Amino acid sequence: MVLPDLSLIIDSLRADSIEPKLYPEAAGWKDSSSGGFLAPGEKLVDVVSRDYHVLESLGASYEEMADMASRVLKHEDAKCVPHVVKLGFWSRLFGKSVVESVKSVELYDSARFTSTLMSSMGQQSCPWGCTRDVFGYSPYGSVEVLIRWKLNGEDTFPSLLSDYTDVMMKSLEGGSPIETWFEKNGVMFGGNRRVLYLSSYLIVTDLTPHLIATHHFFEGDACYRTDPTRLAEVIRSKK
Ligand SMILES: [Zn+2]
């Protein structure tokens, strides 16, 4: 596994012009993300450099990591769309269409992880302005996969998320505003998306494979970071 030279990657980032677009609700970009690609104050070059060294220690290339993210998305798609296979022989024998459900093969250890697919309103474009991707990935995002960690084999919904839901319901009924709860729990930006991010073990969006393969970017500690160590752990968890 050979990674490109880090200085070449940093040059390709065009950090001076791109970085301002990566913060939550960035001004001056019509397609800015409310959750952001970087946390306020994070630096693009620092985040990319740090993850470069993570990939070195994982022994994985950017292409391999993008492929792992893509497999997570395909796996979730397969769970949503039932697989049907028309069996020609049986169809001819019985004179009717015969379908068989094919159980999709689990991508990761389902005793340790559980996942949810969520759609976002609208579409998020690539901050670098790409309209196509040489690797075949989408330069636009609209869904995210949240992978949660199971404790003792149970999908114990993270306490942060259940606490948030509780407060949100009370807020709708006229209780203290949800913003107060955000502040109390240190959710200073990104609102609901930040809560989902903090309560998940791993997040993969359909923009993630493109960002990794083309821009060497896993995102910062904002709302949609795909932590490379966790991504490799989840994929490699399947025995
Ligand atoms: Zn791009």
Whether 151 is covered by a domain: the verdict is: yes
Confidence category of residue 8, pLDDT binned at 50, 70, 90: very high
DSSP H helical ranges for the chain: 6-12, 15-18, 44-58, 62-80, 88-94, 159-172, 178-184, 191-198, 208-215, 228-236
Query: Which residue matches tokens 């199971």?
Result: 150
**Chain mean position to CA 40:** 19
Whether 68 is covered by a domain: the verdict is: yes
Report how far ligand 1's centroid is from the alpha carbon of 137 (Å): 10
Report how far ligand 1's centroid is from the alpha carbon of 195 (Å): 26
Report how far ligand 1's centroid is from the alpha carbon of 215 (Å): 6
| Predicted pLDDT at 212 | 98
Q: Is there a contact between 71 and 232 (Cβ–Cβ < 8 Å)? A: no
Report how far ligand 1's centroid is from the alpha carbon of 210 (Å): 6
Report how far ligand 1's centroid is from the alpha carbon of 188 (Å): 28
**CA-based nearest residue to 143, from 79, 93, 51, 228:** 79
Q: What are the pLDDT digits (tens) for 148-191?
A: 888 776 666 667 777 888 888 888 888 888 888 888 888 899 98
pTM, whole model, 2 decimals?
Answer: 0.86
Report how far ligand 1's centroid is from the alpha carbon of 9 (Å): 14
CA atoms within 13 A on the CB side of 47: 25
User: Quick one: average pLDDT of 46-58?
Assistant: 97
Confidence category of residue 229, pLDDT binned at 50, 70, 90: very high
- Top pLDDT among 81 and 159 is at 159
Report how far ligand 1's centroid is from the alpha carbon of 23 (Å): 16
Report how far ligand 1's centroid is from the alpha carbon of 189 (Å): 24
Whether 27 is covered by a domain: the verdict is: yes
DSSP string, 135-157: TS--SEEEEEEEEEE-BTTB---
Whether 169 is covered by a domain: the verdict is: no
When divided into structural domains, the chain yields a total of 1
Containing structural domain, residue 139: 6-158+200-236
Whether 180 is covered by a domain: the verdict is: no
- The CA distances from residue 194 to 54, 55, 113, in Å, are 24, 25, 20
**CA-based nearest residue to 144, from 78, 222, 226:** 226
- The CA distances from residue 55 to 19, 136, 232, in Å, are 22, 22, 10
Whether 119 is covered by a domain: the verdict is: yes
Whether 184 is covered by a domain: the verdict is: no
E strand or H helix that includes residue 96: none
Q: Which residues contact 3 (CB under 8 A, 6 or more apart)?
A: 52, 55, 56, 61, 62
Whether 166 is covered by a domain: the verdict is: no
